[in-house]
Homo-oligomer: A and B are copies of this chain.
Amino acid sequence: MDRDEKYMLQALEEARAAASEDEVPVGSVIVYKDRILGRGHNMSQKLCDPTAHSEMIALTAAASSIGGKYLNDCTLYVTVEPCPMCAAALNWAQIGRIVYGASDPKRGYSLFTPSLLHPRTEVKSGVLEEECSKLISDYFKSKR
């Protein structure tokens, strides 16, 4: 297993925590070198807060952990392509790299132009895509 898969498994663990709380199952971790600085899962129902996406929670935790707003040398692992809110937040943080599992063709940040991401942010997609995608589709199937 490579490093990206290792941390995506951690993000999947967060996503499963969301599922068990009946939230849309998305999870995130933010990594600096070989250390997790922040983690989060979607809590928007529980907190009654439309901004409480996994990426925002992980970002706030990571920035607080390093005592600074910029995460240039960090990687965000997230099970699903970030929405525009989260992408723009990651731009403010100048995150170094984003690795995501499943694409979100309806609400993903990549639908928008110009890019919502910081010009120096690298992106990799499709890591453990099947597991990430299955969690989401199982959740929405259970809601029908």
Residue positions of A touching B, CB distance < 8 A = 44-45, 47-51, 56, 59-60, 63-64, 66-70, 83-85, 87-89, 91-93, 111-114, 116
Contacts and interface: CB of A to CB of B under 8 A. Distances in A.
Nearest to A51: B89
B49 A116 contact: no
Given A48-B64, A49-B63, A112-B116, 20 more contacts: A47-B64, A48-B67, A48-B68, A49-B64, A49-B69, A50-B59, A50-B63, A50-B69, A50-B70, A50-B93, A51-B51, A51-B56, A51-B59, A84-B84, A84-B91, A84-B112, A84-B116, A88-B88, A111-B114, A112-B114
A69 B68 CA distance: 29
A87 B86 CA distance: 11
